[in-house]
Structure formats: C-alpha cells, structure tokens
Structure 1
Amino acid sequence: MENGGEATKWRFGAANPALEAAGRQSIRSIVSGLFDSLDKSDPRPVAPLGHGDPSAFACFRTAPAAEDAIATAALSGKHNCYSRAAGVEEARSAVAAHLSRELPYDVTAGDVVITAGCNHAIEIMMAVLAAPGANVLLPRPGYPLYESRAALCGLEFRHFDLLPDKAWEVDLDGVEALADENTVAMVIVNPNNPCGCVYSYHHLAKIAETARKLGILVISDEVYDHCAFGSKPFVPMGVFGEIAPVVTMGGISKRWMVPGWRLGWIVATDPCGVLREKKVIQSVIDYRAISVDPVTFVQGALPQIIANTDKAFFENAMDVMRKTAEICYQKLMDIECITCPHKPDGSMFVMVKLDLSSLDGIHDDVDFCSKLAREESVVICPGIGLGMKDWLRITFAVDPSLLEDGLERVKSFCKRHGKTKEVN
C-alpha cells in the first residue's frame, strides 16, 4: 500500500520466538499434526491413542449428578456475574472440604484459588515463581506445558529424570545435583502423566524431605487424583505439608471425565503457613486478577458436583480404566519393537520405548507416529514432545474395543516395517 507515493512500513508482525517454540512443543500441536497425516479415505475408525480425553466415549461419560448440577447452576440466574479473583467463595469452600478429608489437617477456603482448569494453574504457578534468576525443576518425561509456560515468563527450568527401571520414581539424587541457591520449586505429577505410575507414601515422604533439605516448595500436579487402579493407592502430597510446603494443583477434568468444563484449583496444602508468609498465595490471587476467569456457573455448580456424585460412578470408571490398562499392557507385550518398562497403575497413559533397530525405514519416534497415522489411522504421541526421544506415550482412556483394534493395527504396522531376520 502506498500513501503519497511512499510505501508504508508496517511495524508489527514479528514473531515471538519463545511463543513459536512453545507452540511447536505442545501436546495439542503435536497430536493435531498427526491427525493431519491421516488417510481420509481409510474407512476404519480413527484410534485416538495420543491424548487423554475419555469424555469422547460412552463408557467414560460423566456422572448424571454432575450434569444436573451444571444445568441447575446455569438456569438459576445466580451465576451470570463476575467472580472475585480467587473464585466463587462456595466453590473454594467445597474444594477445601474435599481435600481436607484426606489430609491430617484442615484446608480453608482462604487456601484455595479457583482456576480455568489445571493448565491455567500451571500458567499461574510458573508466572508467580518467575523472579529474576530463579529456576524450577521439572520431571523428564513430563507434561511439556510446564516448560512452555516457564520459558514464556523467563523462568529457567532444569530437568530431573524419572527412572523407568524403578517404576518411574523421581531420581532424588539427580534433583539434589540440579538444585542451586536460585532453585525455588520442583514439580511432581501423581498419578503420573505420561508414565502411568502412582507414587508410594514412602517415596512421597522422601520427595518432601529432599525439598525441605533444599529449601524449595513442591508443586504437586494431582489432576489425576484417585485415578489409581493398581496395588498402590493415591496419596496426596499435601499429607507431607508439615515437612515442606506443598502447592497442590487439581481439577475436575479427569476424575469427573469433563476436560471441556475447564475448572481447576491451586491450593496451599501447607499447615506451617510458609506459603502465606512468603506471599505465594497472594501472588497467585494477584495473577488471577489479570488473567482469565473460570466460568462462573461451573464454579457455582462445583459444590453439588463434589457432594452429589455417587461413589459408584468413580468405582465404575476405575473398573473400565483398569480393564483398558490391562488390554493396553497385554497388547504391547506382544509387539516386538516396543518395550513397556512398567505396567500402568494410574492416570490414563503409559510410556513405552521403541526399538528402532528392529524397524526398517523408521527414523525416529516422530517418523513412527506420522507413518502409523497415515497407514493405520492410529494416533499416538511421540515421546520427543515429553522429553524422551524414541519413546511413545499411549493413552488407554479409550473404548475397550477400539483400543484393542488400534493396538492390533500398531502390531500390524510394526510387522510390516520390521526388518527381515537373517537365516543362517
């Protein structure tokens, strides 16, 4: 465009490199790219084993009491206004009572901040901790949004390893080696996405002792709380809040199978009051005041969602999850090029290792997943997006028959691309 004979020099449009990098590493972006690789002419149903959204399947539909609570709240006319920065008071009180049942002390509404899902909680915590020079310790493999949000707000992150040969426990020696005087927090995810493990009481106690030794807080991502169906029960990290301060993050998306409702929380499970003394919770509220608000009628429905959901709903959901986890594990054991180091006993995922030496024409985990999507209409998340090159993350939060069919297609794909064994 010209103005008076001179071309206008527009001054906008320069890309934000940090945002571009974060976008490329997001699970949603990676999995969406694989869906673009699908052969649209394939008549078979797509087997979506790449991301954990069980709500798409009838066997994982949420509880009627939860749906009724949402409808009642929306139709009441009482929840059409803005909420306070920390959230609707009744919702905060309901979360506090909900968590207190499993802790050796009481959480109050003042310890709770309502968020627009657990992803929003991650955004808030990374921003709150991003003091000049600070660093945070993140698990590998891990949920990449932590890295993306830390990078976007200038918070340095360092990775400690989860150990596949020890049921994906935290490498606590590695945590101590990584930490320095600028380390402010470490993140754990329990039950674990992406590994499918559930941490024992003993291991969580050791995590708390390590955090105390280092003088850092523990951010415990418990969005999969009680999604445990193996021999280890779920233990909230807040049980150890007297040893080290714990910020618990959770929500209704996974346990109630409603990720689209976008309702989560950040809670100070810290009976010694260290987080209040250090103004961490006030900083969380201050950030919420300049951030997105969770939908008010979902907040308004939360007390009834928690109070009225029948115990049988959770039991039935875990029965199905236990069944699909077993299907997944047994099917994977029958695929030669894939190794599953630990049978999943929690969350909705399992991490497995690719043996590229037994495959012909497959360069890495991304190549494997791209070709699998195109040839078999099966979508699996490559491990590189979770910090583990040549690994795969598979979700079993899928209708059992479709899961079986999808993993049979993975087996066929691996056989078709398998190297021919030499005969002496």
Structure 2
Amino acid sequence: MKPLRVADRTRSFKYAVRDVLAVADEAKKAGKSMLYLNIGDPNVFDFALPEGIIESVTRALRDGHTSYAPSEGVPAALEAIRAESEGFGFQGIRDVFVGNGASEAIEIVLTALCNRGEGVLLPYPGYPLYTAIAGKLGIDAQPYYLDEANGWRPNADDIRAHIQPNTRALVLINPNNPTGSVYDRACLQELIEIALEHELVILSDEIYAKLTLDGREHLSIASLSDRAPIITFNGLSKAFLAPGLRVGWAIVSGPELVLAPLVDACHKLLRARLCASHPMQYAIAPALADTRHLPEVIAKLERRRDLTVSRLDAIDGISCVAPEAAFYAFPSLHIEGPDERFVAEMVRETGVVVVHGSGFGERPDSSHFRVVYLPTEPVLSEAFDRLEAFMRRHL
C-alpha cells in the first residue's frame, strides 16, 4: 500500500508558537539547558488556578454533570456571561454560546460566516490561530498592519486600503497578542465606522481584557455601538489561569435582523459538535464572580514586563515597545535576512525558546520575535543574559 495522500489544506498549515518546539527539541538533545519563553500558559510558571474554579469543577463532577450539555452551553454559564457583558455596557446582546476554549468559538463563527474564497481582515502581527483557521476553511486571510510607531495600534487608512470586494469581517485582538497593545475609544469608534461603511462583521478577541497593566482601561468595542454586528470572544484561559480547561465563549451583539442568519448558522454547527465540556462550564459563573486573584497576577506581570522591556532595550540590535496588557512583548530585531532563520539559530545556540515574528505576521521589511514574560525574574534575567551574549556574537 502506498503512503497515504493527505489533504492539500495541510501543506501550508503552520502554527509558529508550537512549531518552534521542533527546533527547541534539537537544542535540548544537543545538551542545552532550556528556558521556554514561547507559550502563554500561566500554569507552567508560578501562577496557580484559583481555588474557586477547582472547587466548582470538582463539585460539578461529584454532582454528576457528566452527561451531554445543551449545545450552546449550560444556562448558569450563559446567564453569568450575559450579566457580566451587560455590566461592561455591551449593547444589543443577541446570543451567547460556550465553546471548548475561545478557539472553538472563533472557528465556529468563521465557519458559519465565510464561504471558501471570501476574505477576513486579520491584524499583523496577530495570534496565528486566525491564519490557521483561514487556511483550513479556504478563507482569504487579508492582513492589515498594526503601527509599531504608534504603540502597535491599528491604522484606519491601512485597514481601508486592504478591504477587498470579498471581505466579510474585521478581526481585532484587543488587548493584542503578541504586542500587548490596548486600543482606546477613538480607535475603536473609527473601526466601527469602517465596519458600517463596508458592511463588515467585527470579530473582537478580548481574552486578555482583564490583564491590562498600569491601571489602563480596557474598552470592549461592543459597549460602543449597537449598530455594527460584533462578535466578542473571551474565556477562562488567560485572566483566570485555566488554559487547559478549554472554556471560552462568544457574545453576539448588534442589529438583530442583520445577525439572525449568523446566529442560526452558528447554532447548527454547535449542535453538530454536540457540546462543550459539561463539568468545566460550571467554573464560569464562580470565576466571573470572583476576581480577587487578579491584583497579585497583574502586579507580577507589571514587574516582569518592566524587567523584560528594560533588558531588551539595552541589547544592541533589539528595541521593544512596552506592552500595555497581557504577558507578551514583541521586540524588533535589527538584522539582515528572515527572522525565522535568525531566531531558530538563537534557540539552538542559547536554549532560550522564543517565537519568530513572521509566525505572527509582520511587514515584509521588518523582523521581530515574541517573548513571554510569565517566568520569574531570575529566569527572565538568565534568558536575557543569554540573548544579549548571542546578539553580541552575531551583530
């Protein structure tokens, strides 16, 4: 029997955040001591799952919540998500549903919204999940470029320049992964006007909304308008330190008649995949009601962000815009040639695992890498010592 022929859609399929581990494994086998600064998983470091979440999931298991759940989510979870969203000022909420992580909710919406060959505007740099899903579904990924000189914020003129006749949606990641930028009211209002002008659906990924730093305010775009169709994604993975529980959701808001066909299509897909994990959904309401862990989390992140930016900015050949949220920095590399090759060599030679900037999308004439500043200060300091020595040798 011949080797199996696989689907064409997998040939260009990449996910840089985990793909870099193949290079890291080479370095580890060669005897390098490894420091992993590539994946935004708080539980790998000194961040503990809140006790309330542990107790609520344990109780759900003991209470027998192990049958199939309603496809859209258990009522207590949906009510808690809706109530919190209304408290944040979301206008015209039409639907809420729970997914196995925000990632599944995102894929369901894109599957329901776009035919093969239709386009979605994606921020570059941005979380590579979106390009992966686009590739899998045959959606045209249409990049628009965040402005590094303006704190990695969207540029309205650049977005307008990239809109095509087949464009269906505008994706925002706010706060942004990988840059940590946060968008202000004026920026969001301008994006709403673009969406209305071109009849686009806004897909707003707000998984880091509770992790803004330095007292910075996060505004949900759905709180600013009920005229535009907006789908907001969130979940427990980041602010609630529970990525492995795979609990996320989507909130559909805006004009009811415009959104009704999309809501119906999403529910068809939700029914076809049965349900999100039943017992895990019982963590949602208690988590949203208790955020006492967040001040300590944010204080740690602010200290580690400050250390990261100061150390990276002091290295010749690297400059870094200070993140305003989340736990990533996206420093610029002043090098010749592709950053993927340069960063792969950095990983092999130093044992410090970071992700090349081109894996998140970037302007063709630029080079970057993403670093996660979740590790403790001593680990970060050791990592930056190694990177500094590497840059001295290679510049």
Contact 1:268-1:275 at 8 Å conserved across structures? no
Counterpart contact for 1:130–1:150, Cα < 8 Å: no
Cα deviations by residue, 1:159-210 (Å, 9 ceiling, x for unpaired)? 1111101111112112222223432110000000011101111111111111
Query: What's the counterpart of residue 298 of structure 2?
Result: 318
Distance 1:331 1:90 in 2: 46
Q: Secondary structure at the match of 1:137?
A: strand
Distance in 2, Cα, partners of 1:210 & 1:232: 25
Give CA deviations for 1:247-276 in whole Å, capped at 9, x if unaligned: 001111001111101000011122x32453
User: CA contact under 8 A between 2:116 and 2:137: conserved in structure 1?
Assistant: no
Q: How does 1:61-210 map to 2 (within 5 A)?
A: 61-77=48-64, 79-103=65-89, 105=91, 107=93, 111-131=95-115, 133-210=117-194
Aligned residue for 1:290?
272
Structure 2 residue aligned with 1:13: 4
2:114 touches 2:168 (CA, 8 Å); kept in 1? no
Mapped partners of 2:24, 2:5: distance in 1:
29
Amino acid paired to 2:282: G
TM-score normalized by structure 2?
0.93
d(CA) in 1 for partners of 2:134 and 2:224? Answer: 26
Aligned length in residues:
392
Task: Please name the residue that 1:248 is paired with.
Answer: 232
Paired residue type of 1:402: V
Question: For the aligned residues, what is the CA RMSD?
Answer: 2.0
Which of 235, 240, 251 is the aligned partner of 1:267? 251
Match of 1:33 among 2, 22, 33: 22
Aligned equivalent of 1:349:
328
* Distance in 1 between residues matched to 2:225 and 2:386, nearest whole Å: 46
| Structure 1 residues 142 and 211, CA gap change in structure 2 (3 angstroms) | same
In the aligned structure 2, how far is the partner of 1:254 from the partner of 1:31? 21
Moved more, 347-356 or 365-374: 365-374
- Residue identity over aligned pairs, in percent, reads 25
Identify the residue that residue 3 of structure 1 maps to in structure 2: none
**C-alpha distance in 2, partners of 1:403/1:116?**
32
- The answer on whether the counterparts of 2:91 and 2:225 sit within 8 Å (CA) in structure 1 is no
Counterpart of 2:347?
Answer: 373
Paired residues of 2:232 and 2:251 also in contact (CA < 8 A): yes
**Cα pair 1:198 1:346 within 8 Å, conserved:** yes
Given the superposition, is the C-alpha separation of residues 275 and 86 from structure 1 closer, same or farther in structure 2, using an over 3 Å criterion?
A: farther
Instruction: State yes or no: 1:394 paired with 2:371.
Output: yes
1:304 aligns with 2:286: yes
- Distance in 1 separating the partners of 2:385 and 2:302: 19
Contact 1:381–1:393 under 8 Å retained in 2: yes
Q: Cα 1:41–1:149, aligned 2, differ >3 Å: closer, same or farther? A: closer
CA deviations over 1:332-371 (Å, ceiling 9, x no partner): 011101121x2111122121111125xxxxx532222222
TM-score by length of 1: 0.87
Unaligned runs of 5+ in 2: none
Structure 1, residues 206-260: CA drift from partner, whole Å, max 9, x if none?
A: 1111111111111000111121103631111111232412100111100111110
Segments of 5+ residues of structure 1 without an aligned counterpart are 1-8, 358-362, 419-424
Higher gyration radius (CA): 1
SS class of match (1:36): helix
1:99-129 deviations in Å (ceiling 9; x for gaps): 111115474xx61110000111221122112
Distance 1:230 1:292, change over 3 A: farther
- 2:56 partner amino acid: A
